[in-house]
Each structure stands twice: as C-alpha cells, then as structure tokens.
Chain A
C-alpha cells in the first residue's frame, strides 16, 4: 500500500532545543492515523512542517511519494488542514468561507460552486450556507472549519482536535463525518486529547514524546506492549490530605496520577509486584476514605501514561 505521508528523520531545532528529533513515520493510504502527544511533545511542530508553514531543520517529508521541499505546490494541493483553532472569516457567509478557501486551490465557476455545496452538505450546513458564522454555535463553526478543508478534495487531511469544546451531538456528527471521509478514500491524520475518540476511529496510532515517536501500531499492538504493567484505579471520598509522594515510594509503582475531577488515584505498577495492600494501607493510614478499588484492563490511556509518564491532557 502506498504511503500518503512519510517522514524521514524529520528534525526541527529552535536554538538548542529539538522540538522534533529525527522523527520517521509512514501513514498509509486509507488510514485514519492517530497522532498522540501531550502539549509540547512536538505534534504541532510536525504538523506545521507537513503543512509547509515551518521549514524543517533536517530530514525529509514526502506526500504521495514526493518530497514536499521540491514539490510544494503538489503537496499543498493534496493536503487539507483542519486546525484546532477555528480559521474562518466571521464576516463571510458559510458559503463564501468555503468558496474562498476552495478558490485558493484553483477551483472556479460551476465546479467551485458544486464542490462548496458538496462540502457544506457533507458537514450538514447546507441550510446555513447564507448565514454568517458569528451566528453559529461552537459545533457548527467546527463543522464549517472542516468544510473549508475538504472542498478541494485532498488526498490527505490533517485534523487537529476537531471536536474540542463542542456538544456531544456535534461531536458524534464530526466523528461520523471523519469515518465517511475515510470511506471516500481520504487518508486522515487525527489528533485529539479525547483518548476514547482515538480508540474509536483510528486504525493506527503513533505516540509522540519529546519530539520522538515512542510507540506506533494498532491499538491492540500498543496495548499488548504493556503486559508487565497493572492499572489500578482507587476512588476516594476526597483528595484532601492525599500525599502522592508517600505512595510513589512504595516498591513497584511506576506512574501515579491524581484525577482531580473524579476524586481518584490512578496507578501503573509492575504486574509482578504484589503491592496493592501496601498502597491501601498507606492511604488509610493517611486518613483517606476509600470508595472503590478496581484493576483495569489496559486502555490507550494506560499505554500513554505508562510510556510518557503523563496524562494526555497534561
């Protein structure tokens, strides 16, 4: 199968800091490729370089088997970007917005009109074609943001957090649209802080940390890499008085994270070390009231936490 995107030793330096460090990656035709990393991992810098907004310090980026340094126009014609922050004109109607961005790819006349209508139809905004985005809900703006990236029918679409900050209904609509786009032959690179979304729609995933790919594969392959780790979640009545440093000193514990919203502590520990009773005793001695204890099957989140030592949202 053809590689739609290929990174070969891609590097980006800002002064002495390596934002992207010798990164190599292949995204194959027809994939929905999850690109995961916490803030500052090098994800955005990589996408900016693929979009030709940043010049790499080293390495090579190939889109549809052509080096984008030499075939920049060809690469851009085949690329669609859905940025995390909305990039639409508030003083243009939905139709004009899509028409403007599609026009940048050389579409004109009836072909342009047809593509714009198609894109608006695809994101469910046909009936809002003549409305201005300032009157749209957050979800509708996100859908328009997508329409602006797909009207020129790119082969590769990069979607950066397309569902951030929207209602569940719009989120489902967008996830369905992503699948539909993929079914039409589009290859999609998808980044999200919502791990369940990535698990749901991505066929392959890469985890980026400190500018490097630290794991890559299908979700099953990634989960299989952490058989030596158990994932324990302890629910507490309150987090007041919790001393994570004391827990961290218990033998076998690799990663400990406090889930503020859920009043819980999540622990990745060596599967071979039997330390659950010590953990519970430490909590009880510290005056904590335990509500629940559960050992979870590894999820993508467990994989991410184990590999990077951080939550995806950190």
Chain B
C-alpha cells in the first residue's frame, strides 16, 4: 500500500513538489515534538583537560606543563576554577547566557582505550555493544518522533528505528525521475532495496535544494542541520566531527579543531533561529586522553573526558561533575583522568527532562543506568 501511494505520488510529481515549508505549516504536534535534540559525536577522543581546563588543580602543571603554559593565561573563566579554551568563543558566550553546561570527568562503561570499541559502546548506550540499537533512536521511538543522521549510513546511535534516516549532500548529476519508479518495480522481489530506495527518495525530497551541495564541511552541515530541524518534522539530528586524536602537536591541532567546532555550533544556533530556545545540544567524545603530555607534544588514549550540554533549553552557566583530582594516586591506573560519573546518566537526565520521558520510557533508552536527579533543563 505504502509503495503504491509512493508510486502514485511519484508519477504525478506531487511528491517532489511538496516543500519543507509546507511540512512546517501543517504540523500540529504534541509539545515534546517541538523540542529538538542535536547529538554531536566528536570522534577520535577529545582531550578534555585541554578544553575544560582545571586551572585550580595544582598537579596540572606537573603533568602537562608543555601543553598548559601556552594557553593558561588565555582561558575564559568558568565556575569552580575551570577555564574554557579560548577557541570556543561562541560556547563561552552561551555559558554566560546560561545555555552551556560542561560536565567533567565522565565516561561510558568502556575502559578499553580503543577508539572503535569505545565509540560503538557510547553510541549503543548499553553495557555491551548492540550494533543494531542506539540510544538516540530508542529515545525517539518512545514518542514516535523522527530523526536524521548526517552520515552515509546510520551510525549506531541512530540504529533500530525505522523513522530515522541518513543523509549527506552530494552533487552527482541527478537522473530522470522515471528511473526511480522503474527501480521500485525492479525491487519488488527485494524488499530491502525497495525500502532503502524509498527512504532515500523521501529524505531527498525533505532536503530539497540542499542535495545539490558539492560537499559540506562541519559548519555547513551544522547550518543545514539547524534549518532542517527548524522547518521539518525532524526532532533529532546527529552530526559527527572527527580529527581529535592528537597524539602529536596537540596545541595547534586543537586550536584548529576547536575553532571549527565553535564555528559550526554558531551556525547551528543561527539557523535554528527561534527554535534554539527549544533545543538541547549534546556534545561528547568516546574517551579522554592521558593526563601527562607524551613524548611528541601530544597525548595518548585515556579514560574520562568532558560532556557538553548546550542550547536554549539547557539550564547552564555552571560546571557539573565531581572532580576526581590529578594527584598520581587519584588517576585511573596512574595515567588517566578518573571517571566520577557515567556519561549516560547525564545524557539520560537531559533527554528525560527535555522530552518528558517517564521512567518506563527511560528504561528503554538506557536500561542499565539510573539517571542524574539534578535539574538540567528549563
């Protein structure tokens, strides 16, 4: 039935005529459906000690003087004696407006220091990796909301929910639309390809002219993401941003990375426009890095890192998370920042409060975790 309707729409050209604006105008959704979530995964392990810097900790300089000295006087002051890296200008503005909430010393259950295992585990949100089910997809499913991943295929955190789609811009020459109806017919015996093509055509239609971009760096994807959330029925989006694996020359590399992140987030806010007030942005990475500088002016794989909750919906302006200290005996395995809380307990609390999920629904999102009780949203 679905397919026949689709072909009918295709044939009459109606499907290709309806615009994102038309969607927005006709929507009448429950309140939670107007509340957006943007999930940004920083792949490669961001060195949180270089970003939310514990200036007050007297051991910091002993471990990493070479990394800290050049930036210590340029940090923007945060609550509890922390300092924010100067490249995060926009984020500091948000902090002052009380829409940025850094949480320190968080980690997923992973203690492996493998990027790939730890990313999979964080995305899955369970105690073991489930490649077919991710936490954001599960959260969306609780309220029958739609999601979009800016990726070539669904990343794990967006898997397991039929309403979530993957999209990225491409500027290949478009083809005669007739070929699509022929292919839908050719795929009659192959429901998997048929469903895949249908999802592709639907998302292409939603994204309209954005399909024609040749390529999109992170800040452009952020802009497209904001526009899409502000004008369509999509409630949650996922963005990925790599390049954090700073084993060498960390200072210049993180300057660049953080500038790009900051620029992208600025674009996101601008394009969300008034919808910013109803948005929760979650920014996290798979693990932190070694407390000590390594032999090549960088840092190696560590354990705890920091999480950012941001957006107009967030009750920000302070730094949360218990600080474990940086004395040798306070480190995890005498090398890494010790995790003091489960990253999922914060993400879960923020999601629960933002989307008004009840405890039973939360148990479907993060089955193994009890969420933080503090008020993070509103």
Q: Do A and B bind each other?
A: no
Residues of A within 8 A of B (CB): none
Residues of B within 8 A of A (CB): none
